[in-house]
Amino acid sequence: MPDLKAPLLFVDDEPAFRSLIVERLSENGFEVTEADCGEKALQLLEQVAFDVVITDLRMPGDIDGAQVIETAIKRYPGIVGIIITGYGTVKDAVDAIKRGASDFIAKPFQFDELMHVLQKALEQQRLKQENAYLRSQLDERYSMEGILGKSPPMQALFQLLDTVASSNSTILIHGETGTGKELVARAIHHNSSRHMHRCVALNCGAIPETLLEAELFGHVRGAFTGAIGARQGRLEQAHKGTLFLDEVGVMSAALQMKLLRALQEREFERVGDNQTMKVDVRIIAATNSDLVAMVQAGTFREDLFYRLNVIPIELPPLRDRREDVPLLVHHFLKKFAASSSTKVSQKAMRLLMAYSWPGNVRQLENALERAVALTAGRDLIDLGDLPPEIQALPEEISHPTVELPDEGLNLPQYLAKIEQELIYKALDHTGGHRTKASDLLKIRRTTLVEKLKRMELAKK
């Protein structure tokens, strides 16, 4: 539905037709202004910031509908412009779309058709604006719909989500356990035009094979032992929305075949029924198995794989994006800690960043929940609060290590280089503030200045 009383400009030279449409549009919640020619329309566009302009293409006078739309878009880039065409002018309408009109409708039409075109265009416009908003937020906050990440692969993922969400394409998400597959699937649904409808999840791995088919497609009464009444399947429940098929890798060959058909034809039968049902569902599938290998081994249908893998999304394991660990740690601290002053000690953070996280973000989340519980009011999370497997990391990981090359090294030069690097880092950290930098390095300010001088000299 349009915003309450969205201002709309309707332009047509035929008085009877115009007043009819204007009346119906007003009944449908628009604040309509009318114009009988292009010149008048341009005049009105100067005065009012319309949300929508609907205009006839051919009109008497020098200004045609395409020009009206073009001027409107130039002045209000977010405006929705719809062209009305008569016979034989569809090609011109297509040209107008290339120049920025949202859609066109051919005369004669029913009012409902116009409303349909209009609502579709408004929805698209809304999504575009929302995506732009999300993008602007990303820059600042490294997050999208509760998915956090500043690492390059996560930033790339956000961009991808931004573009694929509004499409209707089937998506296959691949990633290790706990990498956020379900989180991502739901984010896509929320950012799609289907968000008003349901996102129904079915975890194929959690349901016995014998019941999975009925769960997916539904069943009629008496379809199998225990099928007391008829039941809708998840596919039907997701009509107009999204079906999230988790762990698709575990389906039997027979069920893979049936799913393939449902994907291809968007139709299926309930178990025990011979009546065919049609559904309009977007599928997002997820797996932590290597489906390509399964296709090669003959345990997963190749044609089904291609049907699902229209847009592949790969979620990187946490150990491949360790720079996201501090961000996630702070996020989960905020979630679990009673006090906002709760911190993680440097040593503990070093270990959290060094650990390999086989259970990925979920494991990190659990580790922090546990750590917060163990601190029992203390506001510093330290080594002893971390799970044993993380504490058990070899000692050297929490200290910098150097290798001694076989050919040996020049110790004074080597140490000077490390010293120089740490001094630059400290200055970087404090924005060039020498007193603060010397505090960080636990040396006197005069010593730091002395060292800087020597470094400058050494450069010359």
Tell me which residues in 225-254 interact with ligand ATP (CB under 6 A). none
Among 178, 218, 241, 249, binds ligand ATP (CB under 6 A): 178
Alpha carbon distance 298, 262 (integer Å): 21
Q: Is 179 in the site for ligand ATP (CB under 6 A)?
A: yes
Q: Is 56 in the site for ligand ATP (CB under 6 A)?
A: no
Contact residues for 320 (Cβ-Cβ < 8 A; gap 6+): 153
Burial class (CB in 10 A: 0-12, 13-18, 19+), 395: exposed
C-beta of 181 vs 270, nearer to Mg ion: 181
- Enter the tokens of residue 110: 């029913």
Strands 218-219 and 231-232: antiparallel
Site string for ligand ATP, 284-313 (x = CB under 6 A): ----x-------------------------
Alpha carbon distance 131, 414 (integer Å): 50
Tell me which residues in 337-376 interact with ligand ATP (CB under 6 A). 361-362, 365
C-beta of 147 vs 348, nearer to ligand ATP: 147
DSSP letters for 133-162: HHHHHHHHHSEETTEE--SHHHHHHHHHHH
Q: Which does 231 bind (CB under 5 to 8 A by kind): ligand ATP, Mg ion, none?
A: none
23 contacts 49 by C-beta, under 8 angstroms: no
C-beta of 201 vs 383, nearer to ligand ATP: 201
Q: Is 316 in the site for ligand ATP (CB under 6 A)?
A: no
Q: Which does 81 bind (CB under 5 to 8 A by kind): ligand ATP, Mg ion, none?
A: none
Site string for Mg ion, 180-209 (x = CB under 5 A): -xx---------------------------
Q: Is 72 in the site for ligand ATP (CB under 6 A)?
A: no
User: How many chain residues touch ligand ATP (CB under 6 A)?
Assistant: 16
Strands 143-144 and 80-85: unpaired
Burial class (CB in 10 A: 0-12, 13-18, 19+), 166: middle
148 contacts 325 by C-beta, under 8 angstroms: no
Q: Which does 51 bind (CB under 5 to 8 A by kind): Mg ion, ligand ATP, none?
A: none
Residues near Mg ion (CB under 5 A) are 181-182
Residues near ligand ATP (CB under 6 A) are 146-149, 175, 177-183, 288, 361-362, 365
